[in-house]
């Protein structure tokens, strides 16, 4: 479709006579196209000159569509070479500027198409200018090893487009922000200095080709000042030097700049590799709310320097002033910096795309994002009209009535007053939506009165590591009144303050975390809740405060996803990382999800049985994800896994899906590699040795301490032959051992076994072995005697349980589990959980229905107490140590009215269970 067919709006002529004269110079113009030319020229002296100078060319292209004409200009720019490059690019730019303006003013192209066309042309011009400069350098021997036929993409220099060019958002009279780097690894050490000098000259020549103003105009104003430490560094520097700078001195504004960075000319592959290496600098691993303060300070410094605090419309700066374009960009970029390290979907270069992604991820309301997108498009279009008037790099509205009339007419508005109101409305909308984000939270309320003991605690805080920096102290001082008020106002103020003190004392640094609290007051509620209830969780948070990031993620309060989905998420999170980085990432990921289960349990969002299942799902996901990584690590040296593969079997609480916060993992590994002599690799291994290495690698992957701590403790003593047996067992050997050599206690453990990782077919074969072993006919008396003997040994070796120490001792969790497993073994039951195994014990006549009901109730009560007590601390706590808040929490979790009622219920359940088990199992003489 032609220009005329696609016009949706029309500029009006501020100077009708000037407009008519320019339009009449274009051959073949008629109707709406003539009006478009007259309106454009009549309100823009710059466009009037371009129309007059390019009248013949316009006559050729206006009957057609603008897209083919623009594509031809861009293609011609990219293909320009030789000594006439500068002149040719200027001629092409004049036509491109005219074509884009007409398509914009006539409403043929929307904002994204206009800025995209400008950016595409700028990219093509930059490629041509660089190619011309490299050609000169090659002919003069300035770059070691380069000849005249060198392809710019193989020369070792790359041009990164920053800012609006990087994002594809160039405005009508924009300068282009470029950073030029060279890949020093392409050159011998002795040649690097020569190469650098050559590339500096190439960069200067390229910039002059683009930005020097001649009698033919210019192509693009070029700004090279975004490079590292621009005041002291050359215009082109090595990638290694740039990386060292960003690692040691990079600031938040430079991180924001690199959100939009994109290689556009030269060695594009090297540029992409450089940006990949820079990702940890740009995208921080943890939520970075401290960036809000830095961005607000930078915005205020810009305004103070340029006197931009005035909000009147005359002379108002649409880019940097109140409610301007930069506020929308800062708003989006700062949120991207906060959360983009955790969510790659937020790493959008374009502002509108970033706003859309932020809304989709829940970081802003969808209606706010939609409003800001509309404001952004509107203000950018006004900015374009300002720049079209005189081809000036301006962002300031006119200072007089005539100027506003001209701007309104170019924009197609005959009512200047209404147009001014429209602009003011968008500026006010931006200001109202973004101001709360950048305005520091103030805490005007006074601090509460404190007891002497509380004052002693608070007086120690300035000496803690998290509060030693001036910045950390300043942010915390704003938070302190509210924190103290909530802590003192909690049900157990002394305990809450003491536990918060333990949390604060253990923090290695504070700026990021305190910024997180300041920007998200709901986290203060959570930390007070934890401090008032769980000293163990408070200490955990001081060591792993980054898990609080997860609270702000959309998944934190979403429905539980199950082991399979969790495993898929973890696998995706580890993709592309090297082995050590993957282990650290797995630890961070597990800690966040582990914390989520604990918080849900603490706040009553889930009950103890749900927590047990969720802790078990999480552990299963971790093992299922790390097992392939551990095998791949062995395969690097010894070839792929021999045979049909290896499976990880969960025993104990993971097998029965009854894990708690501090549970370890009971695992064994079973492989199938019959008739395989060795792995196929550079250093072949027998299957037993191969899987032994893989098993040890898995155990290390889960339990070895790294900078991120450990995931779980791992116990493999339930494998065949215990500590004396191999760490990995062949399927045939496992089958034979279970049928002919295993002790009764090993068959009891087998009742809870479950394959959780490895080939599905091997898992089914292992389950078949389990079921066949459980189905075997047994000597009932012998099983019960062996179970009683096992019970006796545990009683003699372990602690005698009482109160909330519900696992050990007669009638405790361990005792009930032994009887239940014996019942499952005698019944040949498939059940792994306590309830199912107790029912099997009843079915086989070991206990009656009343006893089964009593044991099931005791198991549920003890399970709730165990879940809660492990959340309170990673080691057994005396009632006085857990505090009244912890005691109340345990009582609530177990369904008791108060602490005394809980103790009474626990004692009664233990006594009843002890009597039932003693009756069901034979008496044994004391050894």
- Is the pLDDT at 907 greater than 60, yes or no? yes
Local confidence band at 545 (pLDDT 50, 70, 90 cut-offs): low
Quickly tell me which residue has 């915390």 as its tokens: 476
**In whole angstroms, what is the distance from residue 821 CA to residue 791 CA?**
12
Local confidence band at 441 (pLDDT 50, 70, 90 cut-offs): low
Q: Write down the pLDDT at residue 153.
A: 76
Cα four-point dihedral sign 150, 156, 157, 158: positive
Mean pLDDT of 412-439: 91
- Is the pLDDT at 745 greater than 70, yes or no? yes
Strands 236-238 and 176-182: parallel
Contact between 744 and 774 under an 8 Å Cβ cutoff? The reply is no
Mean pLDDT of 734-758: 94
Answering whether pTM is above 0.85, one says no
Cα four-point dihedral sign 167, 170, 175, 180: positive
- Is the pLDDT at 443 greater than 60, yes or no? no
Phi-psi region at 323: left, alpha or beta (left = phi > 0; alpha = psi -120 to 50): left
- Is the pLDDT at 927 greater than 60, yes or no? no
pLDDT for 774-815, tens place per residue?
999 899 999 999 999 998 888 777 666 666 788 888 899 999
Quickly tell me which residue has 């594509």 as its tokens: 71
- Among 371-385, 884-898, 911-925, name the most confident range: 371-385
Of 117, 123, 86, 121, the residue nearest 102 (C-alpha): 117
Local confidence band at 515 (pLDDT 50, 70, 90 cut-offs): confident
Q: Write down the pLDDT at residue 435.
A: 84
Of 26, 211, 175, the residue nearest 102 (C-alpha): 26
Which of 6-20, 479-493, 832-846 shows the lowest mean pLDDT across its residues?
Answer: 479-493
Q: Write down the pLDDT at residue 885.
A: 72
- Is the pLDDT at 300 greater than 70, yes or no? no
**Tally of CB atoms within 10 A around 56:** 10
Quickly tell me which residue has 């050729």 as its tokens: 60
* Percent of the chain at pLDDT exceeding 90: 61
Mean pLDDT of 47-64: 95
Of 261, 337, 331, the residue nearest 296 (C-alpha): 331
Q: Write down the pLDDT at residue 739.
A: 92
- Is the pLDDT at 288 greater than 60, yes or no? no
DSSP at 876? -
Strand partners, 665: 714
Is pLDDT larger for residue 253 or for residue 114? 114
Local confidence band at 926 (pLDDT 50, 70, 90 cut-offs): low
Is pLDDT larger for residue 733 or for residue 681? 733
Of 22, 102, 125, 93, the residue nearest 384 (C-alpha): 102
- Is the pLDDT at 164 greater than 90, yes or no? yes
Which of 416-430, 459-473, 903-917 shows the lowest mean pLDDT across its residues?
Answer: 459-473
Q: Write down the pLDDT at residue 805.
A: 83
Q: Write down the pLDDT at residue 550.
A: 67
| HSE-up (13 A, CA, CB side) for residue 192 | 14
Is pLDDT larger for residue 377 or for residue 603? 377
pLDDT for 861-874, tens place per residue?
999 999 988 887 66
Contact between 591 and 879 under an 8 Å Cβ cutoff? The reply is no
Phi-psi region at 657: left, alpha or beta (left = phi > 0; alpha = psi -120 to 50): left
Contact between 198 and 187 under an 8 Å Cβ cutoff? The reply is no
Q: Write down the pLDDT at residue 890.
A: 87
Strands 728-730 and 665-672: parallel
Mean pLDDT of 209-221: 94
Q: Write down the pLDDT at residue 397.
A: 95
- Is the pLDDT at 64 greater than 90, yes or no? yes
Contact between 289 and 512 under an 8 Å Cβ cutoff? The reply is yes
**In whole angstroms, what is the distance from residue 328 CA to residue 503 CA?**
37
Which of 426-430, 450-454, 489-493, 730-734 shows the lowest mean pLDDT across its residues?
Answer: 489-493
**In whole angstroms, what is the distance from residue 141 CA to residue 147 CA?**
8
**Tally of CB atoms within 10 A around 361:** 17
Backbone angles phi, psi at 670, to 5 degrees: -125, 130
pLDDT for 804-858, tens place per residue?
788 888 899 999 999 999 999 999 999 999 999 999 999 999 999 999 999 999 9
- Is the pLDDT at 901 greater than 70, yes or no? yes
Whole-number Cα distances in Å, 364 to 162, 339, 356 = 26, 12, 9
pLDDT for 622-653, tens place per residue?
999 999 999 999 999 999 999 999 999 999 99
Mean pLDDT of 420-430: 95
**In whole angstroms, what is the distance from residue 504 CA to residue 499 CA?**
9
Residue 581: partners with Cβ closer than 8 Å, 6 or more residues away: none
Mean pLDDT of 744-755: 94
**In whole angstroms, what is the distance from residue 240 CA to residue 182 CA?**
9
Mean pLDDT of 880-895: 79
Q: Write down the pLDDT at residue 606.
A: 92
Which of 346-350, 442-446, 790-794 shows the lowest mean pLDDT across its residues?
Answer: 442-446
Whole-number Cα distances in Å, 497 to 453, 473, 538, 716 = 10, 18, 11, 41
Q: Write down the pLDDT at residue 570.
A: 94
Cα four-point dihedral sign 519, 520, 521, 526: negative
Q: Write down the pLDDT at residue 150.
A: 73
- Is the pLDDT at 768 greater than 80, yes or no? yes
Q: Angle at CA 697, nearest 5°, toward 696 and 703?
A: 85
Q: Write down the pLDDT at residue 147.
A: 73
Which of 38-47, 409-418, 703-712 shows the lowest mean pLDDT across its residues?
Answer: 703-712
- Is the pLDDT at 706 greater than 90, yes or no? no
SS3 assignment, position 221: coil
Q: Write down the pLDDT at residue 874.
A: 61
Quickly tell me which residue has 């950390």 as its tokens: 472
């Amino acid at each position: 479709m032609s220009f005329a067919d696609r016009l949706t709006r029309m500029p009006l002529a501020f100077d009708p006579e000037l407009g008519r004269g320019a339009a009449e110079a274009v051959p073949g113009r008629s109707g709406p196209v003539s009006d478009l030319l007259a309106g454009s020229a009549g309100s823009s002296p710059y466009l009037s000159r371009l129309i007059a100078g390019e009248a013949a060319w316009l006559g050729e292209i206006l009957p057609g569509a603008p897209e083919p004409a623009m594509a031809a200009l861009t293609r011609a720019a990219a293909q320009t070479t030789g000594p006439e490059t500068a002149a040719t690019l200027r001629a092409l730019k004049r036509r491109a500027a005219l074509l884009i303006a007409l398509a914009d003013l006539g409403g043929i192209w929307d904002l994204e198409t206009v800025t995209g066309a400008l950016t595409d042309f700028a990219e093509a011009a930059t490629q041509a200018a660089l190619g011309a400069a490299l050609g000169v350098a090659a002919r003069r021997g300035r770059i070691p090893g380069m000849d005249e036929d060198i392809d710019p993409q193989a020369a070792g220099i790359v041009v990164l487009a920053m800012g609006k060019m990087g994002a594809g958002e160039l405005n009508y009279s924009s300068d282009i922000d470029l950073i030029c780097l060279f890949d020093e690894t392409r050159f011998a050490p002795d040649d690097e200095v020569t190469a650098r000098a050559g590339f500096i000259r190439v960069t200067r020549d390229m910039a002059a080709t683009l930005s020097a103003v001649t009698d033919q105009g210019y192509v693009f104003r070029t700004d090279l000042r975004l490079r590292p430490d621009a005041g002291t560094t050359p215009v082109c520097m090595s990638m290694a030097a740039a990386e060292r700078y960003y690692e040691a001195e990079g600031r938040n504004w430079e991180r924001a700049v690199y959100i939009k960075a994109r290689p556009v000319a030269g060695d594009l592959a090297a540029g992409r590799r450089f940006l990949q290496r820079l990702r940890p600098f740009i995208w921080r691993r943890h939520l970075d709310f401290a960036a809000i303060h830095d961005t607000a300070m930078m915005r205020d410094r810009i305004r103070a320097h340029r006197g931009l605090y005035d909000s009147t419309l005359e002379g108002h700066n649409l880019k940097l002033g109140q409610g301007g374009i930069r506020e929308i960009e800062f708003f989006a970029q700062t949120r991207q910096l906060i959360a983009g390290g955790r969510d790659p979907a937020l790493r959008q270069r374009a502002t509108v795309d970033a706003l859309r992604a932020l809304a989709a991820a829940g970081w802003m309301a969808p209606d706010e994002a939609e409003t800001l997108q509309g404001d952004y498009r509107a203000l950018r279009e006004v900015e374009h009209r300002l720049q079209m008037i005189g081809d000036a790099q301006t962002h300031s509205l006119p200072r007089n009535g005539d100027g506003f009339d001209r701007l309104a007419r170019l924009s197609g508005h005959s009512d200047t007053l209404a147009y001014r109101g429209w602009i003011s409305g968008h500026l006010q909308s931006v200001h109202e939506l973004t101001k709360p984000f950048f305005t520091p939270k103030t805490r005007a309320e006074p601090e509460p009165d404190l007891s002497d003991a509380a004052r002693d605690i608070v007086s120690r805080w300035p000496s803690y590591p998290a509060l030693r920096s001036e910045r950390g102290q300043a942010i915390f001082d704003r938070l302190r009144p509210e924190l103290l008020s909530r802590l003192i106002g909690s049900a157990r103020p002394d305990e809450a303050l003491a536990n918060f003190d333990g949390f604060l004392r253990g923090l290695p640094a504070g700026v990021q975390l305190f910024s997180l609290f300041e920007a998200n007051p709901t986290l203060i509620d959570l930390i007070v809740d934890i401090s008032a209830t769980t000293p163990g969780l408070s200490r955990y948070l001081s060591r792993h405060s980054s898990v609080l990031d997860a609270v702000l993620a959309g998944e934190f309060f979403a429905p539980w996803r199950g082991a399979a989905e969790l495993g898929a998420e973890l696998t995706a999170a580890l993709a592309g990382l090297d082995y050590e980085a993957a282990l650290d990432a797995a630890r961070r990921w597990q800690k966040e999800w582990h914390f989520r289960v604990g918080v849900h349990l603490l706040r009553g969002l889930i009950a103890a049985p749900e927590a047990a299942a969720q802790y078990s799902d999480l552990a299963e996901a971790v093992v299922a994800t790390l097992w392939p990584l551990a095998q791949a690590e062995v395969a690097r040296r010894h070839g792929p896994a021999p045979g049909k593969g290896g499976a990880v079997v969960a025993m104990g609480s993971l097998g029965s899906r009854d894990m708690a916060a501090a549970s370890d993992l009971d695992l064994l590994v079973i492989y199938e590699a019959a008739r395989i002599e060795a792995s196929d690799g550079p250093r072949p291994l027998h299957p037993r040795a191969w899987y032994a290495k893989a098993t040890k690698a898995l155990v290390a992957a889960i339990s070895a301490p790294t900078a991120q701590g450990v995931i779980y403790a791992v116990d493999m003593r339930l494998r065949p032959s215990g500590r004396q047996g191999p760490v990995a067992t062949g399927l045939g050997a496992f089958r034979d051992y279970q049928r002919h050599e295993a002790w009764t206690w090993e068959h009891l453990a087998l009742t809870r076994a479950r394959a959780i990782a490895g080939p599905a077919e091997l898992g089914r074969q292992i389950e078949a072995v389990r079921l066949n072993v459980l189905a075997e006919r047994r000597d009932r008396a012998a099983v019960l005697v062996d179970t009683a003997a096992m019970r006796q040994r545990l009683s003699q070796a372990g602690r005698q349980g009482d109160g909330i120490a519900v696992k050990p001792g007669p009638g405790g969790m361990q005792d009930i589990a032994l009887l239940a497993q014996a019942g499952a073994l005698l019944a040949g039951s498939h059940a792994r959980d306590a309830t199912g195994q107790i029912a099997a014990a009843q079915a086989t006549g070991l206990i009656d229905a009343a006893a089964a009901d009593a044991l099931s109730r005791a198991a549920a009560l003890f399970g709730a107490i165990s879940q809660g007590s492990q959340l309170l601390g990673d080691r057994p706590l005396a009632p006085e140590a857990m505090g009244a808040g912890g005691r109340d929490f345990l009582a609530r979790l177990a369904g008791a009215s108060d602490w005394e009622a809980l103790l009474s219920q626990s004692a009664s359940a233990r006594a009843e269970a002890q009597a039932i088990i003693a009756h069901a199992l034979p008496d044994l003489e004391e050894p």
